[in-house]
Structure 1
Amino acid sequence: MKKEPSNGSMLADPTLLDKIDKLFACNVGEYIALPQLVVVGDQSSGKSSVLEGLTRLPFPRDSGLCTRFATQIIFRRSRDMSTRQITASIIPASDSDAERATRLKAWRCESIGGLEPDIFSDIMEEVYEMMGVSTTENTSLPTFSKDVFRLEICGPEEDHLSVIDVPGIFKNTTPGITSKADIHVVRDMVETYMRNPRSIMLTVVPANVDIATQEIVEMAREYDPNGERTIGVLTKPDLVDKGAEDRVLDLVAGNKLFIQHGWILVRNLNQQELRDGDTDRDQAEKAFGRTMPWNAIASDKFGIKSLKTRLQEAVTENARRAFPSVRSEISKRLKDSKNALKALGGDRETKEQKASFLLDIIARFQDITAQALSTNYGANDIFDTNIDLRLATVIVTRDTAFANELCKWGHEYEFKGEDDPTHNSSTENAITKPTAEQQTVQTRKIDSMTELDGIVTEQTNEALPSNNDINKWLSKLYRTSRGFEIGTFNGSLLATSMKKQSVKWVNFANGYISDVITIVHRFIVTTLKIAAVDQRVFENMLSIMMDALVDKYHRAMEQVQFLLHVERNGTPKTLNHYFNENLQKCREKRLKSILGDKVFHASGDVPVIRLDDVMAQDHRSNVEYTVQDIHDILQSYYKVARKRFVDNICIQAADYYLVTGPETPMKLFSPSFVNRLSEAELDEIAGEDASVQRRRSNLRKEIRELEEGRKNLF
């Protein structure tokens, strides 16, 4: 004789389960996987009878009213109540609009005691109407709904348990009622619940079929391959063919299709007993369990009471295990949602709101710009993830490269006796000398941007300075341009030779300023995208500002052309005392090279040279003497002019017009820009499109529901 299973009500944690149910009621399950018990099976599996046995509610079978949407059934024990109370409500689908969600949440139906079949059918008809689901054939309304019907059953004798029933899967359509599309709708709905890693799946299968091949069993294996969260329920044992009982007994005993929570056999009322209406379900089940061969099944694996105990056990264990991580996930999701809403900025409906939104973007843009120019990179993590935003550092690096390149490669001819700066190991940022195969130097170091085409110059390759005898070139230049001067040369000769010697400055300077423009523009684009967040707003702001930006870039380019003209076409002139010092050093160096072998040492190891040797050392012709003088003056002036030119290009053209001056491109993004915008321009730039409005509405709904859910946790 079977031993009756002990009462499992004490296994349940009412406080914990109540919190989980409240999370479902707040729609938190849409954002966080919540622990739950979901009843799955096909339309002929006996799901409705199992639920009726668990709930003691007369689920209508003929109309199939309980199979068109998910139903959450919540049992709660309350010793303060004298009789059972049933409350029905609707949890709107997550994609419901605000008006529909409010209307569905407001619907409520309460009943004291049990629900008669006709009353329950009336309630379900009303639920259908509220959800907008069809109740008749050949209607335009959908057959299934993603809303959840919620039944809360409280009473002094109820056990603590929550169950979610989902529509039964099916393969064949019913003309006028279901379609092939409905087959996929129901399957997707069922899989959504089964896919949840915190779902316990109550899998209902008729015992009189080949269980191993049932579709719902295959689905359970797919989502729970180890059988850790599946409870098997076998129905209709009274319909099992004679001789096939051993197959069912093996399954219940755990010898086949093993699952952690095992299989339980239940015997519901058959069609004749339902029609008679006077058969006690539990008594009929007990009587059946005493018959052969079913009396061999252990008591904890047979009957609706054993099933309820097993469910309480599994659900409570699952909830306790998952609850700490659920709480953590809700807090994290809430934080992420708030950050996402904050990133969208304030509402953008009125003119004032749109202006305020743009002003916030401008403020963020200017904050990043100020940090980038002051090298305060630790103030913002974006400088770690995007090195190009380290504007001051990138500009200074390019400045140094420009100065070094012009020093090493900017002249047409090598000067006589010029030291090679690439061999000076103490020079910071020394330039790597090109290899023998590398006979040219690129004037641009930064890849250009498509939107700057036609504004900046293209990449050019400059040949290395010529090693041909510079004196031959100067001699030819002197012979073809001298006048009536005696013992000297025409002043215009210095200007002519300087223009030729600095011919490469043009491409080096244009390449440098083009790189700085590209660096600045890339910084503006990246920073504006970060500040704006909204891709549409970013594109609109950049588009409306592009003409003004281009004008700024042209002004920098024009300043370079001006400085090139002054240095290469103007009259050579300098007040820098280093010109005379350089010239004196050149002449001293030349004299030392001539008299070096005439030097001897007197007493005290003092170097001495005879006056006669000094007087007799220079036997050059007037032309040679003049050419050497031109060389030394050109070399001395070129050094001074080059350093001046580099400083002027970096300070006046780049820094003043593009980086730190009073009217740089970055300063176009200012409050005055926003204040000048018309209402139409404000709407064009900052007006929210439909997708952003939906995103904002959805985030607010999510935050509201998550906050309500978190409140219920404590």
Structure 2
Amino acid sequence: MVQPALHDDAASTLLPRAETRRLVDRLRAFGLDKHVDLPQIAVMGDTSSGKSSVLSALSGIAFPSAGELTTRCPTQLILSHAHTLHGTVRLRRFQSTAAPATVTTITTLDQVTSAIEALTTQLLAEGQSISDDAIEITLQGPSFPDLTLTDLPGLVRTVRDGEDPRMIPRVRQLVKRYLAQERTIILAVVPANVSMHNSEILQAAAEADPTGARTLSIITKPDLVDVGAEAGVVELLLNKTKQRRLGYHMVKCRGQHALNTGVSIADARRDEAAYFASHDVWRTIDRSLLGTQNLALKLSALLTDTIEAALPAVAAELDSQIRDCKHRLAELGAPLDTPEARRRSFSNVARTVTSRLGMALDGSYNDLSFFDNDEVGADNRLRAQLRAFESEFSSAVADHATVTTSMADDAARSVAVGDYVHVRAADGSWTLDQVTRLHERPNEVLTTSQPTHWLTYSLDWRHLPRLNLDAIKTLMVANRGDELPLFLSYTTFANIVRQQYVRQWHAPMHSLYGSYARSLKVLLGRAIASSTSVGALQRHLTSVATDLMTSLGRAMEETLDEALAMEARPYTMNTDVAAGFHRQRSMPLLSALDALADESDDGRVSIGAVKAVVQLHCMTHESLDDLQARDLLWALQAYLHVAAKRFSDKIPMLLQARFLVPFMTELRHQLATTEATDAILERLLRDGNATARTELAAKLRALEQAKAEIHAVV
């Protein structure tokens, strides 16, 4: 059952102080501290700063303590007040996938010391000179305060003979991980006889907590301060120098001599009280700043206050991480440990890939995540790309179907009296006129409209324009077969169409197919990558689709060549060809006659002028080759106009019908049958997400258990 998120005022519902602390201990027992920073007190210090002695004084437990490094891993001490002594010790592995730890039951404090030594020996045997695993000591008893502390290995600068030098940076890395946690109270332990400016732990704490809002400095070994040098320590205790919001506290725990002579923890506490009460300087200090007993009370209250302040944020973080876990688990999908699960997973992937390919080909860009992506969404709109390629193809075919013409250069052509020519009028236009006289100078004439003013060729007059048919005549002569010179031969026409025009459509046709194939291949890769397929499955999908494209591509190229070969035999039932031919034949003559009529104010024209125009357009003075060449020109223009449009439509239609549609049909079929057998899927769908899924599921359980625990008590 989904529980509501905690509101920000959750901490205002006050729990009993001890219960507040126990709540966080239970959350930590669920493993929540691996995912959410929980309020805690971490004891840190340089080697032999007296950390273990402080813990012993607070708990009554004799921690392994000597002049050398003793703590090899975080040691979490969970103390609760109870009528009888009982508890457990276990090794809590940092990696959640590790096997469950053996729990040692505790009935005496001596057993705690032995258990710590045994677990430390185990870590060393595993090759862990410094470990992220934690020794968790949970104790209830009549002499314990309600307090949870985590002791960290001491910072070291050198190692002893035979010790791993890598432990130096490992300790720093471990301590830094705790320092960085915003909900961790830093209990920085420093000896009184060491300059605070040279303390590595105080420097590290200042970097992580510049304002000192969560740093409480514990001053140990006050008996080692030289007589007369106490003033500097007093300034620290009173928080006058190196000020921190949580300030400082001083304790005097068992030193090495006391340990060697067997002084008990209880006797050490009494010695501490007597020492502070009798010392000339320390007895003048506020009692709340001195002694183990006051430190225990201070830490218990500080931890509880920190927990109460942090609970709303912890609860909000729980909600956020629960949502994230569920989302990530959904992305990983169901486990692939059965044929049914593998078939279901493969079907989902295949459906995603083919659906996106199909939409891209149809131009139905409804999948916003695939087609409206800012980076590649537009590039996935395949139909739009294909239309652009088809437009380029159509333009290329049209360019290669254009029969170019030019006007003949008649500068060297002679003129005779009685010939009709064009004369430039006063407004700059050209009008039809008849030559009446020739000058001795070449190319100067008089005309009917200009009987006295000699006209100069090109400037004042020109021959009637006629087509330059040299190129078309050359083609006609080169492609003639067995024919009569009276009419245009189909064989000649077909040869010219095939050799000069249709053959040039081959390159743009295959270029269009290449653009289709390349774009489809790119889109295929993106569609596969956008699915949940990875590794072997992704490679398999790519291989199946690529092989299919290659197979269809070979057949497609043959089909295209066949389509081009059909165009090599000119044929059409389209009447636009005949209409175009007749239009080419008649329109120039009709236009010339209309222009002749427009030159007359009363609409009457000279029969001679009409005769000249008709003779020009009927080419009565030209050879049969000229006549055939002109008809061939008009026939080519009329036919190629129709054939080019037909070909420009036919090739994209063939690519759609013989390449794209079969590709999608066969791909869907193969991904549902031959490429989706249980044997293939078992090989492809090995659950590479099993570990991640297990870890996420464990994390989700811890988060949901923690959330339920908070709601149960708040």
TM-score, normalised to structure 1, is 0.78
> Take 1:588 and 1:526, find their aligned partners in 2: how far apart are those partners?
57
- Render the CA deviation track for 1:8-65: whole Å, top value 9, x for unaligned: xx99855554443333222232233333321111230111122223333333425999
**1:576-655 correspondence runs (5 A):** 576-600=574-598, 612=610, 615-616=614-615, 618-620=617-619, 621=622, 622-653=624-655, 655=656
Alignment of 1:193 with 2:181, yes or no, is: no
- Render the CA deviation track for 1:467-518: whole Å, top value 9, x for unaligned: xx98432121113334533442111233233231244422222222111111
- Render the CA deviation track for 1:91-121: whole Å, top value 9, x for unaligned: 3221543xx1x3x1x625254xxx33x2222
Cα gap change, 1:208/1:497 in structure 2, threshold over 3 Å: closer, same or farther?
same
- Render the CA deviation track for 1:218-253: whole Å, top value 9, x for unaligned: 322333344333221111111112232222222223
Aligned residues of 1:173 and 1:179 also touching (Cα < 8 A)? yes
> Take 1:475 and 1:369, find their aligned partners in 2: how far apart are those partners?
52
**Cα deviation, residue 581, structure 1:** 3.8
Alignment of 1:498 with 2:485, yes or no, is: no
User: Which residue number corresponds to residue 507 of structure 1?
Assistant: 507
> Take 2:501 and 2:400, find their aligned partners in 1: how far apart are those partners?
8
> Take 2:308 and 2:283, find their aligned partners in 1: how far apart are those partners?
35
SS at match of 1:377: coil
Amino acid at match of 1:205: V
Cα gap change, 1:65/1:272 in structure 2, threshold over 3 Å: closer, same or farther?
closer
Alignment of 1:109 with 2:105, yes or no, is: yes
> Take 1:156 and 1:658, find their aligned partners in 2: how far apart are those partners?
85
User: Which residue number corresponds to residue 393 of structure 1?
Assistant: 384
Cα gap change, 1:672/1:642 in structure 2, threshold over 3 Å: closer, same or farther?
same
User: Which residue number corresponds to residue 705 of structure 1?
Assistant: 702
Aligned residues of 1:25 and 1:91 also touching (Cα < 8 A)? no
Amino acid at match of 2:706: G
- Render the CA deviation track for 1:577-624: whole Å, top value 9, x for unaligned: 333343344345433443342234999x99999895675552413333
Aligned residues of 2:47 and 2:68 also touching (Cα < 8 A)? no
Cα gap change, 1:211/1:674 in structure 2, threshold over 3 Å: closer, same or farther?
same
> Take 1:261 and 1:609, find their aligned partners in 2: how far apart are those partners?
121
**Cα deviation, residue 148, structure 1:** 1.9
Alignment of 1:72 with 2:76, yes or no, is: yes
**Cα deviation, residue 683, structure 1:** 4.3
User: Which residue number corresponds to residue 371 of structure 2?
Assistant: 383
- Render the CA deviation track for 1:170-228: whole Å, top value 9, x for unaligned: 2332445x321233333322222222233221111111112221222232233334433
> Take 1:173 and 1:45, find their aligned partners in 2: how far apart are those partners?
16
**1:51-66 correspondence runs (5 A):** 51-61=55-65
Question: Which one of 201, 204, 208 corresponds to residue 223 of structure 1?
Answer: 208
> Take 1:278 and 1:317, find their aligned partners in 2: how far apart are those partners?
29
Whose Rg is larger? 2
Aligned residues of 1:594 and 1:617 also touching (Cα < 8 A)? no
User: Which residue number corresponds to residue 298 of structure 1?
Assistant: 286
Amino acid at match of 2:566: V
SS at match of 1:479: helix
Question: Which one of 572, 593, 597 corresponds to residue 570 of structure 2?
Answer: 572
- Render the CA deviation track for 1:67-91: whole Å, top value 9, x for unaligned: 12212223456xxx64465343443
User: Which residue number corresponds to residue 133 of structure 1?
Assistant: 123
**Cα deviation, residue 263, structure 1:** 2.0
Aligned residues of 2:589 and 2:617 also touching (Cα < 8 A)? no
User: Which residue number corresponds to residue 52 of structure 2?
Assistant: 48
- Render the CA deviation track for 1:512-569: whole Å, top value 9, x for unaligned: 21111111111111111222432343124323553333212333333322222222x3
> What is the aligned-residue RMSD (CA, Å)?
3.6
User: Which residue number corresponds to residue 165 of structure 1?
Assistant: 151
Cα gap change, 1:511/1:279 in structure 2, threshold over 3 Å: closer, same or farther?
same
- Render the CA deviation track for 1:309-367: whole Å, top value 9, x for unaligned: 44345434544454444333333334334443443444344555444432332122223
Alignment of 1:659 with 2:693, yes or no, is: no
> Take 2:671 and 2:126, find their aligned partners in 1: how far apart are those partners?
55
User: Which residue number corresponds to residue 539 of structure 1?
Assistant: 539
> Take 1:608 and 1:664, find their aligned partners in 2: how far apart are those partners?
71
SS at match of 1:673: coil
User: Which residue number corresponds to residue 432 of structure 1?
Assistant: none
> Take 1:609 and 1:661, find their aligned partners in 2: how far apart are those partners?
69
Q: How many residues align?
A: 626
> Take 2:507 and 2:78, find their aligned partners in 1: how far apart are those partners?
80
**Cα deviation, residue 572, structure 1:** 0.6
Using the aligned pairs only, state the percent identity: 23
- Name the stretch that deviates more: 661-670 or 616-625: 661-670
Question: Which one of 23, 33, 39 corresponds to residue 35 of structure 1?
Answer: 39
Cα gap change, 1:405/1:501 in structure 2, threshold over 3 Å: closer, same or farther?
closer
Cα gap change, 1:234/1:573 in structure 2, threshold over 3 Å: closer, same or farther?
same
> Take 1:110 and 1:533, find their aligned partners in 2: how far apart are those partners?
52
User: Which residue number corresponds to residue 444 of structure 1?
Assistant: none
SS at match of 2:588: helix
> Take 1:347 and 1:596, find their aligned partners in 2: how far apart are those partners?
86
Aligned residues of 1:66 and 1:167 also touching (Cα < 8 A)? yes
Consecutive unaligned residues of structure 1, counting only runs of 5 or more, are 1-9, 418-468
Aligned residues of 2:219 and 2:249 also touching (Cα < 8 A)? yes
> Take 1:669 and 1:190, find their aligned partners in 2: how far apart are those partners?
57
Amino acid at match of 2:527: T
Amino acid at match of 2:384: T
SS at match of 1:392: helix
Cα gap change, 1:27/1:669 in structure 2, threshold over 3 Å: closer, same or farther?
farther
> Take 1:225 and 1:312, find their aligned partners in 2: how far apart are those partners?
23
> Take 1:278 and 1:96, find their aligned partners in 2: how far apart are those partners?
39
Amino acid at match of 2:37: A
User: Which residue number corresponds to residue 120 of structure 1?
Assistant: 112
Alignment of 1:234 with 2:219, yes or no, is: yes
Question: Which one of 285, 295, 320 corresponds to residue 307 of structure 1?
Answer: 295
Consecutive unaligned residues of structure 2, counting only runs of 5 or more, are 1-13, 408-466
**1:216-615 correspondence runs (5 A):** 216-274=201-259, 275-277=262-264, 280-290=267-277, 291-385=279-373, 386-387=376-377, 388-407=379-398, 409-411=399-401, 413-414=403-404, 471-482=469-480, 483-499=482-498, 500-543=500-543, 545-567=545-567, 569=568, 571-600=569-598, 612=610, 615=614
Cα gap change, 1:28/1:643 in structure 2, threshold over 3 Å: closer, same or farther?
farther
Cα gap change, 1:663/1:181 in structure 2, threshold over 3 Å: closer, same or farther?
closer
Amino acid at match of 1:560: L
Amino acid at match of 1:149: I
SS at match of 1:208: coil
Amino acid at match of 1:672: T
> Take 1:16 and 1:535, find their aligned partners in 2: how far apart are those partners?
48
Cα gap change, 1:155/1:406 in structure 2, threshold over 3 Å: closer, same or farther?
farther
